[in-house]
């Protein structure tokens, strides 16, 4: 199994497939992958029903109580959660119809083999934990893939990080946003970066005034072709689509720093480094707290 696998904590302000799975598991109508007030209330009610601390935060104990054992022949919202997770984490196209078919069983078995756990096609506690932990891959709608460090498709991030950056790009909705490195499929060291190992660091390139940020050379905030207003709106969209879960945006434009949108960090003149956080992450570097906005 993935040695460091854990359930990613989700709470108010998170987005993405892990939130979508929670909504399915709670049998919420109209699941949208956005952890809002309705989802929080449902999590609180579920926690009370299970004798858990009713804090509205879906951490490991809540996830463990939410995720049932599923095998071929099962049906219902929990199977929809499983299908959504397999689609996002293994880049599949299963119908999210709540039917545990032989095809779903094959997908579960393939994931179990991928994760190095018992391959019995049954989604039990170990499979759920590894599946929720596994990183997701962005759709690239409104984005282009930039690879400045030769790391190939290093675009994998947690379900929340991917869902949140996709939402930010949709909100920005002006031109195409260059996505730099996020991380490898299972995390770990990535050349050219001291971080980007936890699936919660996302690099975005600044926007150019000629809208050629996906085809021309990368610029800095000092460049003549730098579009500060567009880059400002991009940073605003990142914050707006993940309230409470943006720990930092490192980018050295002094105007955006003065406005409180970004923070200074060495070697961040030519990209915005977004660090997302979780309410219960095991690493303090990715733990939401007083330092995040």
Distance (Å, rounded) from C-alpha 168 to C-alpha 103? 33
pLDDT digits (tens, 9 = 90+) for 255-273: 999 999 999 999 999 999 9
Residue 291 scores a pLDDT above 70? no
Lowest model confidence (mean pLDDT) among 189-198, 232-241, 248-257, 284-293: 284-293
User: With the C-alpha atoms ordered 150, 139, 141, 287, is the resulting torsion angle positive or negative?
Assistant: negative
Residue 18 scores a pLDDT above 60? yes
Closest CA relative to residue 100, chosen from 86, 117, 115: 86
| Mean pLDDT to the nearest integer, 139-146 | 96
Quick one: pLDDT at residue 292?
Answer: 34
Quick one: pLDDT at residue 225?
Answer: 97
Distance (Å, rounded) from C-alpha 86 to C-alpha 1? 16
Distance (Å, rounded) from C-alpha 174 to C-alpha 170? 9
CB-CB contact of 154 with 182 (8 Å): yes
3-class SS of residue 25: helix
Distance (Å, rounded) from C-alpha 275 to C-alpha 147? 18
Q: pLDDT grade, residue 290 (50/70/90)?
A: very low
At CA 241, angle to CA 252 and CA 289, rounded to 5? Answer: 70
| Mean pLDDT to the nearest integer, 176-182 | 97
Other Cβ atoms closer than 10 A to 117: 18
For the chain, give the mean pLDDT.
Answer: 96
Q: Over the Cα atoms of the chain, what is R_g?
A: 19
Distance (Å, rounded) from C-alpha 234 to C-alpha 51? 42
DSSP state of 207: P
User: With the C-alpha atoms ordered 147, 281, 36, 241, is the resulting torsion angle positive or negative?
Assistant: negative
Distance (Å, rounded) from C-alpha 232 to C-alpha 38? 31
Residue 228 scores a pLDDT above 80? yes
Quick one: pLDDT at residue 55?
Answer: 97
**pTM for the full predicted model:** 0.96
CATH of domain 143-286: 3.30.1380.10
CATH of domain 17-133: 1.10.101.10
pLDDT digits (tens, 9 = 90+) for 230-257: 999 999 999 999 999 999 999 999 999 9
| Mean pLDDT to the nearest integer, 168-182 | 96
Q: Which sequence spans correspond to the domains of the chain?
A: 17-133, 143-286
**Integer CA distances (angstroms), 224 to 2, 205, 207, 208, 259, in order:** 46, 15, 12, 9, 21
Quick one: pLDDT at residue 244?
Answer: 97
- Tokens representing 42 are 């449902």
3-class SS of residue 126: helix
């Amino acid at each position: 199994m993935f040695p460091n696998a854990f359930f990613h904590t989700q709470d108010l302000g998170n987005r993405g497939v892990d939130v979508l799975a929670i909504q399915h598991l709670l049998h919420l109508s109209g699941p949208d992958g956005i952890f809002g007030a309705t989802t929080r209330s449902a999590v609180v009610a579920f926690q009370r029903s299970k004798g858990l601390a009713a804090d509205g935060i879906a951490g490991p104990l809540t996830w463990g109580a939410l995720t049932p054992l599923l095998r071929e022949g099962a049906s219902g919202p929990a199977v929809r959660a499983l299908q959504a997770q397999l689609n996002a984490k293994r880049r599949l196209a299963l119908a999210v119809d709540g039917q545990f078919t032989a095809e779903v069983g094959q997908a579960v078995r393939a994931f179990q083999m991928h994760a190095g756990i018992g391959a019995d096609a049954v989604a039990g506690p170990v499979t759920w934990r590894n599946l929720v932990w596994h990183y997701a891959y962005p759709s690239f709608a409104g984005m282009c893939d930039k690879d400045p460090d030769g790391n190939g498709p290093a675009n994998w991030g947690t379900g929340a990080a991917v869902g949140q950056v996709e939402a930010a790009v949709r909100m920005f909705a002006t031109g195409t946003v260059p996505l730099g490195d996020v991380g490898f499929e299972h995390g770990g060291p990535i050349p050219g970066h001291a971080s980007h190992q936890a699936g919660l660091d996302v690099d975005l390139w600044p926007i150019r005034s000629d809208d050629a940020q996906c085809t021309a050379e990368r610029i800095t905030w000092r460049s003549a072709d730098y579009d500060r207003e567009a880059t400002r709106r991009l940073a605003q969209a990142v914050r707006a689509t993940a309230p409470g879960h943006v720990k930092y945006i490192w980018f050295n434009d002094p105007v955006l720093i003065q406005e409180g949108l970004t923070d200074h960090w060495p070697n961040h003149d030519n990209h915005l480094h977004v660090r997302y956080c979780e309410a219960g992450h095991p690493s303090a570097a990715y733990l939401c707290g007083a330092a995040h906005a």
